[in-house]
Structure 1
Amino acid sequence: MSIALSRNRMLAFSLPALIAILPFLGACFYIFRFSISGDKASIDGYSIKAYLDLMTPFFGRSVWVTIKLAFIATIAAMLMAVPLAFLLTSLKSPLARRILTVTILLPLILNLLVQAYGWILLLGPSGVLNSALRGMGIIERPIFLLFNETGVLLGLIQTSLPLAVFPIVSSVRGLSQEHLEAASSLGASQWRIFFDVTVPLLRPGIVGAASIVFAFNASAFAIPLLLGGRRVQMLGVAIRDMISPMFNWSGAAAAGMILISLTLLILVFSSWLVRVTSEKTRG
């Protein structure tokens, strides 16, 4: 009786969140319906022509570029997030911990446009980096780090880093000191303890954080558009071009459904991987 009552209370508390999700689910259904419309500009009839029209080398390259950049940015973000998570949990001073937390959160606090223009000022041909390198006599001509995949990668890593850090922080705080002390008492080195004990215990948090970061990067729009221009056609930019100036609404909806399906596939795979790794860790 008490368990059922507790579930009902949790459902009541979760009701506002569920209601907030409903418009998104409705939008997804509307996008799907538009993607199988027989008309490019309105919902009229049924057709899979919008999907067939996407079977081109250009769109295939957009999908490949999206997966490649999202994957590389996710790996880089995770490599930086793990030591940051350990540093954040090891700080004893509340003030130092707050300062580091705010610093990590800055990409989520600042507007993406402000961050993108900050990268432009830093990486542009006459930006801070090129001016400093030329002033030191290291280069004669500016290094082109904008409107290519390098600039987009830097922007994706910086904006997605907070999404990688804080899930891992929760896992680090849940580490069992008994396992670490037992490994140390058996003579294991610090590196051996980290790779054989700490990493397996953190694996569910790492995989979960990586799936969130990948989904965020794969659906990115502002960063690829501003730092990559027309030269880096990630799916977000390609969908925007289909809407304007092409006004191909059904094609954009079909591309959006492909992006949603790709993201959901990655999330389902990561959930399965977390479940498997958790069972292995418990075993």
Structure 2
Amino acid sequence: MAFSLPALIAILPFLGACFYIFRFSISGEQSRIEGFSIQPYLDLMTPYFGRSVWLTLRLAFIATLLAMVMAVPLAFLLTNLRSPFARRSLTIVILLPLILNLLVQAYGWILLLGPSGVLNSTLRSLGIIERPIFLLFNETGVLLGLVQTSLPLAVFPIVSSVRGISREHLEAASSLGASHWRTFFDVTVPLLRPGLFGAASIVFAFNASAFAIPLLLGGRRVQMMGIAIRDMISPLFNWSGAAAAGMILIFVTLIVLLFSAWLARMTSEKVEH
């Protein structure tokens, strides 16, 4: 218990902020905390906000799925590299999205994918396309940014799970005549499932609450919840509505995290039996 005390103390400001946001979300006034009312939540029951919630969940889910597909082979590669220099170099490359500022990364995507960016200029010079391919200020650009920035959050939890797999299980499956693919799907994947669910829940929560990437790569055309909350604060100055939208985002994310934790626990129990 004593070892967890610093972590609990570090979490307290976050819990205090959540309570403050919740109190503001049931305020009777838009610009200050005064009285009690559920009107801020009722005001969000509109098709516009519903589309924002659906878009956020859909893009976060797709980006999480793509990040997980890319993270699994990267985790195996990082684990099986024997050269310390190669392992450190790959680790640095994977960590770059967490090291670099999000603004720098977003502007990098703009320079690469813009109508007159590197990709379109190269394709046009090769005669492959005549008109620029629009990959920015739409869902495609946002998905690329979300996958790239959240990939490290998926790789390293999976690396821990890969390192925990006993080679005896793999050797036993091979001695029984199982092919590499059969061993992977019947032995490796079940042992990785707790780590996969844990990594997916972290990536989903990160993507669902994203703000800078949807704003810079999606603009006003991709209204995820982070953008909708920002618009309620400025220029509308609807603080209670923004707080209510924030609480909905927190609630939805918690439901996904709890469901992921339940799936991971059920999977672990099946693997043990």
Q: TM-score range by the shorter chain?
A: over 0.9
* Partner of residue 111, structure 1: 101
Q: Which residue of 1 aligns with 2:138?
A: 148
Superposed counterparts of 1:32-181, under 5 Å: 32-181=22-171
Per-residue deviation, 1:13: 3.1
Task: Say yes or no: does 1:245 pair with 2:235.
Answer: yes
State the match for 2:176 in structure 1: 186
TM-score by length of 1: 0.96
Matched letter for residue 238 of structure 1: A
Distance 1:62 1:94 in 2: 45
Query: C-alpha separation between the residues in 2 aligned to 1:18 and 1:190?
Result: 44
After the TM superposition, which of the residue ranges 201-210 and 16-25 deviates more from structure 2? 16-25
**Matches of 1:51 and 1:83, distance apart in 2:** 43
The letter for the 1-side match of 2:38 is I
Corresponding position of 1:230: 220
Partner of 2:14: 24
Aligned sequence identity (%): 83
In the alignment, the residues of structure 1 paired with residue 15 and residue 168 of structure 2 have an alpha-carbon distance, to the nearest angstrom, of: 44
3-state SS of 2:221 partner: coil
| Equivalent position of 2:197 in the other structure | 207
Structure 2: distance between partners of 1:162 and 1:213: 9
Structure 1: how far apart are the matches of 2:92 and 2:160?
A: 17
CA distance, structure 2, for counterparts of residue 263 and residue 183 of structure 1: 38
Distance 1:270 1:30 in 2: 27
CA distance in structure 1 between the aligned counterparts of 2:269 and 2:47, rounded to whole angstroms: 42
Structure 1: 5+ residue runs without aligned partners? 1-10
2:209 counterpart residue number: 219
1:4 maps to none
Q: How much has 1:16 moved relative to structure 2? A: 2.3
Distance in 2 between the 1:114 and 1:12 partners?
Answer: 40
| TM-score when normalising by structure 2 | 0.99
| Distance in 2 separating the partners of 1:194 and 1:115 | 34
Q: How far off its partner does 1:88 sit?
A: 0.2
Report the Cα distance in structure 1 between the residues aligned to 2:165 and 2:10, rounded to whole angstroms: 34
